[in-house]
Structure 1
Amino acid sequence: MKIINARLRGDEQLFTLQIEAGKFSRISPQEGILFSDLESYDANGNLCSVPFVEPHIHLDAALTAGEPNWNISGTLFEGIERWAERKPLLTEEDVQTRALKTIELLVANGVQFIRTHVDVTDPNLVALKALVKIREQIKDKLHLQIVAFPQEGILSYPNGKGLMEQAIKEGADVIGGIPHFEFTREYGVESMRWVIELAQKTGKLVDVHCDEIDDGAARFLEVLATAALEAGIGERVTASHTTAMHSYNNAYCSKLFRLLKMSKINFVSCPTESMHLQGRFDGYPKVRGITRVKEMREAGLNVCLAEDSIQDPWYTLGNGKLLRVLDSAIHSCHMMGYNELENGLDLITNNGARTLQIEEQYGIEIGKPANFIILEGGNDLEVIQKQGEVLLSVKEGNVLLERKPAEILTGPVFG
């Protein structure tokens, strides 16, 4: 397979990329525009990028909005209540059908690497077992990581620790947590220490729903970061959401960022969902409820963006388009300076790959697996401006998706 007339990120010239045995065998600049032939794919000056990474999604709950009841208040906690009503109705077939439909949406929009959180506060672990089977089924086409996520708490749910340990035995890749939802602060602190200890014992990654609340006094992030630092596993640890940081005072944040940089933990922000769920207890002005993405980038912390939900009890919308999520973050986090836009795709590509610890199979470099997408636009800024479609998605040399750019059949009429 050969790609011609492609642009690469950070470079204005055109390139030819040769793929052999599922890997990049040659990447060379062109002297001019090449004419396409039967053996080549013409990128027409569009951007050849590493694939999108979805680092935080809930496949077990996807496509269940309104089943059996709608989240009327729009709050995070009512969403948990509505999910608790839906959870007893789960079957492996139900979970697999919805999860595969959702994965198809993500793949159609350039995603090739997914981390899904799966609720394991279920004595039968129905959803977890279903997704472990899906992971095996799609392993040749898609990279799927599974987080054992204790939606109703580790210490606050009956046999919570036991269910987490059983989830790992059943095949979970990542250990989750939700300290701000535990009954007491003491439970939350203990759960974070326990999660890190379990990660050390099992060698698993960690991804915690951490301080997903508007409470400026929620301080479990400092506990998680300290535990990760002391254990020396910060690069394997992720704090998702951290929306309470939006409500922290700046003096405390200055102190906190020192710890966060030392710990080397990763961060995931879900801006579309956070704007929807947070600020529900405010009058005016209302908080946006998004963690400090801009400041994290400036401090050199690894932060990436995710969609979080697709049509579930917490978020009725969602369509698998990470460019939509990036567009939302750029606006809501005041990240529209040119220097922020020129590498904006990092937030849904390279930073997510670092979070998932998949960098060895990620990157447009000779010898690496030929995993890439073609996007409408010649650089990060143009891609973000156009908000266009993914034209081509290739995984290890195999085409997952190909589409033609939209065409205007009749032009606009003026006068």
Structure 2
Amino acid sequence: GYHGRVTLGHLTSLGALRADEAGRVIDLLAKASINVVTLPATDVYLSSAKEPVHPRRGLTPIRALREAGVNVAYSSNNIRNAFTPFGTADPLQIGWLLAHVAQFGSPDDRNYVLEMCTHAAARVLGITDRYGVAIGKQADLVILDTHKVGDALLDLPVRRWVIKRGRVTVEARQTCTIYRTAQKEAAL
């Protein structure tokens, strides 16, 4: 009954284990199809906050979980409270933070981070049957002002349009104005 329907959040203690110990736990998670949701903003802020020397600021071992086939997503958890005093709940900002902290810098890594907040999150929620852009699906999406999908974490681009159930619900515009003085223009 619960195969693939159980999700663990944070799981930062797994990152404190030796690799062999963590590996045994990760293998069990993979065999049981248990999902993991990492909450990077909260986990980095709270982890070992009271340790006076070399406080741990770790996440769950995302790379090892990925390699074992565990479905890993991320989320913002709380914002603007005692657990996470900063944030806007923007998935791209959380992904940007996660990519830094987890050292996911390659193009493949960045695509994986985006996968974590899209398809992996849909698997956690059990909505893969209606998630995505295809005939018969809801077509909920955000259109970003970027040239490549993988650059979304590099650029943190403007979200040009938000589409919900096939209808545009938000359109964002950005204006950049450069003012030049007459003296500077004469020098050009």
Which structure would you say has the larger RCO, counting Cα contacts within 8 Å and 6 or more residues apart? Answer: 1
Answering whether residue 172 of structure 2 is matched by residue 376 of structure 1, we say no
Other structure's SS at 2:122 match: helix
Instruction: Report the counterpart of residue 251 of structure 1 in structure 2.
Output: 20
Alignment pair present for 1:408 and 2:183: no
Q: Does 1:386 align with 2:155?
A: yes
- What is the CA-CA distance between 1:411 and the residue it aligns to? 6.5
> Quick one: which amino acid aligns to residue 408 of structure 1?
C
Q: Map 1:95-174 to 2 at 5 A.
A: none
Letter of the 1:259 counterpart:
L
1:196-207 equivalences under 5 Å are: none
What corresponds to 1:134 in structure 2?
Answer: none
Contact 1:344 1:381 in 2 (8 A): no
Counterpart CA distance in 2 for 1:252 and 1:292 is: 12
Q: What SS does structure 2 have at the residue aligned with 1:352?
A: helix
Secondary structure in structure 2 of the residue aligned to 1:328: helix
CA distance in 1, matches of 2:53, 2:106: 28
1:305 is aligned to 74
**Matching of residues 4-19 of structure 1 within 5 Å:** none
Deviation at 1:382, TM superposition (A): 1.6
Provide structure 2 residue ranges, at least 5 long, that are not aligned to the other structure: none
Amino acid at match of 1:347: M
Out of 135, 139, 145, the position equivalent to 1:366 is: 135
Q: Distance in 1 between matches of 2:133 and 2:145?
A: 18
**Corresponding residue SS for 2:129:** helix
Q: CA deviation at 1:311?
A: 1.2
Cα deviation, residue 260, structure 1? 0.9
Contact preservation (8 Å) 1:271, 1:328: yes
Q: Which amino acid aligns with 1:237?
A: V
2:88 alignment partner in structure 1: 319
Question: CA offsets per residue over residues 11-40 of structure 1, 9 Å max, x none?
Answer: xxxxxxxxxxxxxxxxxxxxxxxxxxxxxx
Contact 1:279 1:289 in 2 (8 A): no
Query: Could you tell me whether the CA contact under 8 Å between 2:130 and 2:136 is conserved in 1?
Result: no
Report the Cα offset of residue 369 of structure 1.
2.0
Of 21, 36, 40 in structure 2, the residue corresponding to residue 271 of structure 1 is 40
Q: Please list, as runs of the form range in 1=range in 2, the aligned pairs for 1:311-350 lying within 5 A after superposition.
A: 311-350=80-119
**2:27 counterpart of 1:282:** no
Asked if the contact 2:15/2:22 (under 8 Å) is kept, the reply is no
The change in CA–CA distance for 1:301 and 1:377 in structure 2 (over 3 A counts) is same
Q: Is the 8 A contact 1:269 1:290 kept in 2?
A: yes
Distance 1:290 1:343, change over 3 A: closer
CA distance in 1, matches of 2:46, 2:112: 28
Q: Offset of 1:306 from its aligned partner?
A: 0.6
Aligned amino acid, residue 75 of structure 2 = A
User: SS of the counterpart of 1:394?
Assistant: strand
Secondary structure at the aligned position of 1:304 is classed as strand
Q: 1:380 to 1:297 in 2, by over 3 A?
A: farther
* Structure whose CA Rg is larger: 1
Amino acid at match of 1:241: H
CA distance in 1, matches of 2:99, 2:175: 28
Query: Any conservation in 2 of the 1:278–1:287 contact (CA below 8 Å)?
Result: yes
User: For the aligned residues, what is the CA RMSD?
Assistant: 1.9
Question: Which secondary structure state, in structure 2, belongs to the residue aligned with residue 342 of structure 1?
Answer: helix
Quick check: 1:243–1:290 contact (8 Å CA) kept in 2? yes
**Larger strand share, 1 or 2:** 1
2:124 pairs with one of 352, 355, 358: 355
Q: What whole-Å deviation, never above 9, does each CA across 1:363-384 have from its counterpart, x for those lacking one?
A: 1112322222201213222211
Q: Amino acid of the residue matched to residue 280 of structure 1?
A: A
In structure 1, the gaps of 5 or more residues are 1-231
Q: Which position in structure 2 is the counterpart of 1:52?
A: none
Total equivalences in the alignment:
182
Distance 2:97 2:117 in 1: 12
Query: Counterparts of 1:289 and 1:349 in 2: how far apart (Å)?
Result: 23
> How far has the Cα of 1:315 moved from its partner?
1.9
Q: What's the offset of the Cα at 1:361?
A: 1.3
In structure 1, the residue corresponding to 2:142 is in which secondary structure?
Answer: strand
